[in-house]
Homo-oligomer: A and B are copies of this chain.
């Protein structure tokens, strides 16, 4: 973790959170694709409608293309985003990473209804997202709409007692030690029903990036 430029560091501080800005060699990748297909800049220009010069600058990381430009690229070259962005298939498993979080030392992230504490957030590129939550909500009405996010979620009540509302089921009462696993794209919402605000531990699957 010593490869941070000042700008990246500043960004981290400014954003207050992780901001794991991956290198994302988009230009490099584009060039790869172009050469792999033996296309010339002019060819690509024809296909995409972008100027030769623009393409050159993108490949050399001299400019950051506009999103419309990216669309023209993926449209014109008939590729898709993942293909453009996932050249670094490095992923090299088995590197033995680890990231420990002491009690209460996670990154706190308050909302009106929940108070989240993200755990192990030093580690990017992980397949699960663990976090502890203090359930501040007391009534279902406090939620403007269902909470939902792609993937699956596992949840265990650590303290207190909650009511789990979900889109397709009756509300479920859970006390400390109880746990539940569910598809998190089904709307859901938690409220505390114990005297003190309940706390739960959740683990979500991260969305697969193809």
A binding-site residues for B, Cβ under 8 Å: 11, 14-22, 24, 26, 35-38, 46-49, 64-72, 75-83, 85, 89-90, 93-104, 111-113, 119-120, 123, 126-130, 144-145, 147-152, 154, 156, 158, 166-169, 172, 174-183, 185-186, 201, 203, 205, 207, 209-210
Would B78 and A15 count as touching, CB distance under 8 A? Answer: yes
Which residue of B has the minimal Cβ distance to A127? Answer: B205
- A47: B residues at CB distance < 8 A: 11, 15-17
Would B123 and A75 count as touching, CB distance under 8 A? Answer: no
- A151: B residues at CB distance < 8 A: 127
Given A98-B186, A99-B181, A177-B104, A82-B38 contact (CB < 8 Å): no
Q: Would you give the shortest CB distance from A146 to chain B, in whole angstroms?
A: 8
Would B98 and A126 count as touching, CB distance under 8 A? Answer: no
Give CA–CA (A169, B97) in the complex, Å. Answer: 10
Given A46-B16, A94-B186, A96-B186, A154-B130 contact (CB < 8 Å): yes
Give CA–CA (A208, B52) in the complex, Å. Answer: 29
Q: Would you give the shortest CB distance from A121 to chain B, in whole angstroms?
A: 9
Of B49, B71, B147, B183, the residue contacting A24 (CB under 8 A) is B71
Given A19-B76, A76-B16, A103-B66 contact (CB < 8 Å): no
Give CA–CA (A79, B167) in the complex, Å. Answer: 23
Q: Would you give the shortest CB distance from A166 to chain B, in whole angstroms?
A: 7
* A–B Cβ pairs within 8 angstroms, 22 of them: A14-B49, A15-B47, A15-B48, A15-B49, A16-B46, A16-B47, A17-B76, A17-B78, A19-B72, A19-B76, A36-B145, A36-B147, A36-B148, A64-B66, A64-B67, A66-B67, A78-B129, A83-B207, A97-B183, A101-B179, A119-B181, A128-B152
